[in-house]
Amino acid sequence: MKKMAVVSGGSWGTALANLLALNGYGPVYVYVIAEKWLTEINEKHTNEDFLPGVKLEEDVVATMDWKDIKDAELIVLSVPSHVLRGVLKTLKTHLGDRKPYLVSTIKGIEEGTHLRMSEVILEEMGSEWGDRVVVLSGPTHAEEVSRRLPSSCVVAAKEKKVAELVQDIFMSPFFRVYINPDIAGVELGGSLKNIIALAAGIADGLGYGDNTKAALITRGLSEIARLGLHFGAKMLTFAGLAGMGDLVVTCASMHSRNRRFGILIGQGKTMDEATQEVKQIAEGVRTCRAVHHLTKDMDLELPIIHKCYEILFEGKNAKDAVNDLMMRGAKHEIEEIAREDFQW
């Protein structure tokens, strides 16, 4: 491939553009929405608002003109979930009949439609784009990838050859890429873990310890898998990078805006106060609301997710929510698979 582009000059979009430039695909064009970022990236080769202290490759080129990316053969989509549909409408008008590969790195579920991001892409671009849409996810904080710290992710696509193509493009000595055919599982793992990270942050803000964090991660993964299986995902995906891997790093790291947001809520801050302090979008907030409305009438046990919703949107006291979770009726730990191998 001769030309690549990234839509959004946020932390992850910039980090991936820099990775592609390091892999020899420059110039890599990054679409930004502010003159400030355009000037800084092109003249100083930095993006201090999102990746402070990181020097970018000179082949990372910022643009505010869609014409600069319309002929790219691969376009990375790294925008917030709630603006994706609008971005796609604009992109489609500039692409004409061209069908570049679209690599979604967006971890969210659209409110209202409850669609995964790849489903939003196909709805806007057309079903004939099915073999051009790729999902990239995993435990990959932009702050660490941009500093070339060893990281791994997973790529999912409808066709294996497409997944392998994108795998080869992004693979580097510090960025290892695996492939997986389970698009739904990879997307849901990456989206739902943000809700559990909010819960982990709330627990941290309340002053709880490692035991609490371990319980939230483990039982949170159970909820992610339960919901994922309901929508056709594969159980093993949630044991991998897009599931357990992403969940652990997001619940444990201060790079995680969802965890940081949760900490502030646990400390008694309002939603507005937490949003102002974190300064970036905590996707888990919108995802929590979307999942709550999607599943509230379903026969699915998602107690952590629904308690997060109550804390964020109904004013539930966080300590009372924790008490509710702890005092639920006794359960089998492996309820989904408690058959012959798990019977007394």
Active site residues: 193
Q: Give the long-range contacts of residues 159-164, CB within 8 A, separation 24 or more.
A: 159/131, 162/101, 162/131, 162/132, 162/134, 163/134
| Positive or negative torsion for Cα 99, 103, 106, 111 | positive
Q: Helix or strand or coil: residue 316?
A: coil
Cα first-last separation, the chain:
57
| Positive or negative torsion for Cα 224, 114, 313, 205 | positive
Q: Are 229 and 235 in contact (CB under 8 A)?
A: yes
Complete DSSP assignment for 54-98: PPPPTTEEEES-GGGTTT-SEEEE-S-GGGHHHHHHHHHHHHTT-
Q: Are 269 and 277 in contact (CB under 8 A)?
A: yes
> 274 — phi, psi (to 5°)?
-65, -40
3-state SS track over 169-195: HHCECCEEEEEECCHHHHHHHHHHHHH
Residues with Cβ within 8 Å of 295's Cβ and at least 6 positions away in sequence, in order, are 227, 302, 305
Tokens found for residue 175: 């960025």
188, 204, 227, 271 from 199: Cα distances, Å: 17, 9, 17, 14
Q: Are 121 and 158 in contact (CB under 8 A)?
A: no
Tokens found for residue 160: 């294996």
Q: Which H or E run contains 223?
A: helix 210-230
CA dist 234 and 186 (Å) reads 9
